[in-house]
Amino acid sequence: MSTEPVLDTAPAVCRSTVTHFDGTVSVREISSALADALIEADLCDLAGGGSIEISPALRSGAITLTHASTGPRDATSGEWVTAHRTNLLEPLHAPRLRPAQYRALWLVADSEKRTYGPKLRDGLVVAGLAAVPPAMTRRLFARGWFRIEHATENDKPVQRVVVSYAGRIAMTFHEHRTETAEGQWDARAWCSCRQWRTHVQADRVAVQRAARLHREERLKAVFGLHDGTRA
Ligand SMILES: [Zn+2]
């Protein structure tokens, strides 16, 4: 009998709390494939002019999808009301990556765009010339940062490995770690991405706000969002 643990490629990794238009609440734990499908559906709706807000949280990596719907209160009154339906998607695993985990996610994200994308083969992910070792592969699927996507290559159906939205959020947190420092007359903030820094003749609060904004912008870019709209 094999002692090798079974690779469950679609574990529940995310808690979805839906507050419906009538105020009732339902909670369930879902896979990253389903979480990504819900996010994608909302992004399509947004592109079609739907009233949807996607708010990623700066610490937990949670995402709130908010739908607004306007219509008559009931069949007889002429009164119109706007109701909201929200879906809070909270990762069950903190979006904190070790450097080796980040490199494995980066490798797969980078080769996703190629004609022959990353594949799961004999328990490891093969991406171009490189491979993610089996133990790391299992861990990244268990965290929900890798997921399987159905695609076609040479007119044949294949199962590709992709980095989920949760994985991309974790990568963004890893890439953009901001720090602030306050001198006697000014305050500074900078980011580990080395592409952003600020220096102001003001207090620490101002640079902290600027650093938060930088991280928020990078998080919104994960969804192709700029100022709440899709670019
Ligand atoms: Zn940065």
The 10s digit of each residue's pLDDT in 113-148 is 887 889 999 899 999 889 999 999 999 999 999 999
Contact between 164 and 171 (Cβ < 8 Å): no
Between 128 and 225, name the one with better pLDDT: 128
On whether both 84 and 59 belong to a single domain, the answer is yes
Distance, CA 210 to ligand 1 centroid (Å)?
11
Spatial separation of the C-alpha atoms in residues 90 and 16, rounded to whole Å: 7
pLDDT tens-digit series, residues 15-54: 999 999 889 999 999 999 999 999 988 888 776 665 667 7
Distance, CA 56 to ligand 1 centroid (Å)?
16
On whether both 134 and 75 belong to a single domain, the answer is no
Distance, CA 40 to ligand 1 centroid (Å)?
25
On whether both 160 and 183 belong to a single domain, the answer is no
Question: What region does 210 belong to: left with phi over 0, alpha with psi -120 to 50, or beta?
Answer: alpha
- How would you label 4-37 residue by residue, b for 16+ Cβ within 10 Å and e otherwise? eeeeebebbbbbbebbeeeeeeeeeebbbbbbbe
Report yes or no on 2 lying in a domain.
no
Report yes or no on 5 lying in a domain.
no
Contact between 200 and 206 (Cβ < 8 Å): yes
Distance, CA 170 to ligand 1 centroid (Å)?
13
Ligand 1 ion: residues within 5 Å (CB): 176, 191, 193, 196
On whether both 65 and 125 belong to a single domain, the answer is no
Distance, CA 197 to ligand 1 centroid (Å)?
8
Domain that holds residue 209: 176-230
Report yes or no on 7 lying in a domain.
no
Per this entry, what is the length of the chain?
231
Distance, CA 155 to ligand 1 centroid (Å)?
40
Confidence band for 151, pLDDT divided at 50, 70 and 90: confident
Report yes or no on 143 lying in a domain.
yes
Which of 91, 111, 145 is the C-terminal boundary of a domain? 91
On whether both 113 and 142 belong to a single domain, the answer is yes
